Amino acid sequence: PWLITDLDGQLVGNRKLDGVDFFRYGFPLAFIFGLIGIVFHFTRDWKRALAVLSVFLATGIMVILYLNQYDPQPRERDYSYVGSFFAFSIWIGLGIAMIQEKIKDFFEDSNISSFISITISCFIFMLMPLTMLTANYKEHNRTGNYVAWDYGYNLLNSCDPKAILFTNGDNDTFPLWYLQEVEKIRTDVRVVNLSLLNTPWYIKQLINDDPKLNLNFCNRTLLDDIYNIEKDPLISTYAGYNLCAHKGMQFKQGEIDCELNFGESFITENGMDVLPRL
């Protein structure tokens, strides 16, 4: 669902897309075939059906409980449950197979039953993607949409020669990387992603790959100060570089040395500055 701000400053959304809309893509054929496939699977081979059901639950409901994602999320997280989609797609296929089997049982002539079965299958395989296309084309059509390109181009060209451009996440970084790596625009600017700056491999890339950064610490410092999760995987789930302990950490670019700095939102909880700010 998308949210906009009304005249009173309140967030309002597309109520039709909130929750589950079974008829968003027309008649829910895939869902119906999946339900038919579940019944067909359990009546024919309940052991294998139980195995598929275990995969469906483990990669669906159990993943939801395990991740316990906060609400709202910045984007749809349906890719987290792709395993359950694969499991349900097995039942969709079995549902279609059941219908084909019933058609063959109904018609005594094998040629007629095969023709009808193939015709219905082709119709279904064409109808289902077309309904999704008509429902989603307008929303996903990117014709003439150059926001990401213009955003990255303007950011890079706002920098001085051989500048360092700090980014925070993925949406603000990927357009810059595309323009630099693919279209070779402003390759003199060094993009430094603060999220990846918590990993030793990325810091090594900054040191070794052009345009190289002359950091004021060596690889030994990286190995000593970055926690290795392989030592005790139960304590930490990621490698983090303790910036608080390195107030002298500098990014040297050209003749100007710029100390690493954080904005107001990155000040520690006790109000103490982590690093000097520009």
| Comparison of pLDDT for 226 and 202, the residue scoring more | 202
Model pLDDT, residue 77: 86
C-alpha closest to that of 52 among 43, 44, 42, 62: 42
| Arithmetic mean of pLDDT over the chain | 76
* Average pLDDT over every residue of 117-139: 84
Model pLDDT, residue 267: 40
Model pLDDT, residue 250: 46
| Comparison of pLDDT for 25 and 33, the residue scoring more | 33
* 147 Cβ neighbours under 8 A, 6+ residues apart: none
Model pLDDT, residue 244: 42
- Report the percentage of the chain scoring pLDDT > 90: 32
Residue spans per domain, the chain: 3-140, 147-266
Q: Is the pLDDT of residue 230 over 90?
A: no
Q: Is the pLDDT of residue 255 over 50?
A: no
Q: Is the pLDDT of residue 51 over 70?
A: yes
15-19, 30-34, 254-258: which is most confident: 30-34
* Average pLDDT over every residue of 41-56: 96
Model pLDDT, residue 272: 39
C-alpha closest to that of 206 among 185, 227, 192, 187: 192
C-alpha closest to that of 198 among 218, 222, 220, 215: 222
CA distance 177 to 187: 9
